[in-house]
Amino acid sequence: MTNLGCVLWWVMPGVFLGWLLSWLFDLLFRRNGRSLLETAKAEVATVQARANGLESELTVSRNQLSNYANEAVRLRTELSAARTALDEAKSSMGVMRLELDTRNASLANYATDLSSLQSQFSTARQSYAQLESALTSAHTELDATKKAAAGAHSLTDAGAAELVRLKAELATALASKESLHRSLGMIEPERSNTKTALAEAHRELERFKVDEAAARYRVDQANAELLRELNDAKSAHAATLESLAALQKDTVVAKPAVSIRPVGVERPTHQNAEQRILMTRYGFIPRHRDRDDLTLVEGVGPKIEDVLVAAGIDTHAKLAATPVEELRCVLDGAGPQFNRANPGTWPRQAALAVNGDWAELRRWQDELIAGVEAPKAGV
């Protein structure tokens, strides 16, 4: 019993101490582990919620991008409709110009008829003056005959015949005078009608000019409005792309790479829309969309354009900066079939195209003959 008591005396404190250490270990480490696990779970839930929010924002941005693409398609459709309206306006302007030419021809005919009537009127006046003179001479001769008859107190058969002849000439002169009066009376209303028709044609011409100016103004306003809407849509689209890129950059959760390509947005062409509208207005239709069309320069055909491009002159700016002698050397080196081409005006035409001065280029090309300046009078 003494030995058992000693053993219990030593074992019991050890058991109690072990139990106490186990309780302390459980108290310290298990509770901290649970707290850390709960904190990690909460952080994972927060990250998942942020990822879901970013996914929703990305979906909204994609919807906005689709709306902008639809808006760009709508604007392109409106631009096409505006171009169709512009073509119709040009066709109407062509018809108006034909009518204007017809009116001008009618005016020229009216002017010719008026000149002819004035000439006839002048001739009639001269005839009338001659008849007046002849009538006066006849009256004088008749008076002289009467005086001679009164002085002689007798009329011979010859004198009576002469008197009858003079009376007949007098009656004929009076009839001619009446006929001239009637002719003048008929010419005067015709002359008045011609002047009235001429004035009406002038008024009609002024109305055509006013209508043409109004049509041009409406077309310019429609083009400007379409350009403004197109630029606003492009700016909004660019802002959406920038915000979408910033949103993808700030995303914490890794996601598979998604290729985002703007839908319905064309690549920028060499000339912007405003320049193309100006070019079309003055009759310049470019054949290329990815580079300058050198055939817009009068005197440069497709084959000469190929020769210039092969020589490294593939833009209007390069053509404007190339001396005329160097252009002649390029043409001579391309073969004898290009010897007749005269590049004397090509650099200046290209410079006008670079500056966008299409109105001056059209005006100058109307004066050129196959790209060559016409010789001045007296030279």
At residue 269, the pLDDT reads 39
What percentage of the chain has pLDDT greater than the value 70?
74
At residue 257, the pLDDT reads 38
Residue 332 clears pLDDT 60, i.e. is over it: yes
Q: What is the mean pLDDT of the chain?
A: 76
pTM (2 decimals)?
0.32
Sorted by where each starts, the structural domains of the chain and their CATH numbers stand as: 57-250 (1.10.287.2610), 273-373 (no CATH)
What percentage of the chain has pLDDT greater than the value 90?
17
At residue 250, the pLDDT reads 60
Residue 314 clears pLDDT 70, i.e. is over it: yes
CA distance 353 to 360: 9
At residue 215, the pLDDT reads 64
| b/e map 339-361, b = 16+ CB within 10 Å | eebbbebbbebbbbbbeeebeeb
What tokens appear for 251 in the block? 């995303």
Query: Which one has a higher pLDDT value, 304 or 117?
Result: 304
In the DSSP assignment, the letter for residue 372 is E
What tokens appear for 75 in the block? 């604007």
Residue 267 clears pLDDT 60, i.e. is over it: no
Mean pLDDT of 115-131: 75
CA distance 294 to 350: 8
Mean pLDDT of 269-280: 67
Residue 181 clears pLDDT 80, i.e. is over it: no
Which amino acid makes up residue 146? K
CA distance 238 to 141: 107
53-57, 73-77, 131-135, 353-357: which has the minimum mean pLDDT? Answer: 131-135
Instruction: State the CB neighbour count (10 A cutoff) for residue 255.
Output: 11
The DSSP bridge partners found for residue 368 are 373
Nearest 5°: phi and psi at 284?
Answer: -100, 110
At residue 17, the pLDDT reads 83
Contacts of 232-237 spanning 24+ positions with Cβ under 8 A: 233/68, 233/71, 233/72, 233/75, 234/265, 236/68, 237/65, 237/68, 237/72, 237/262, 237/265
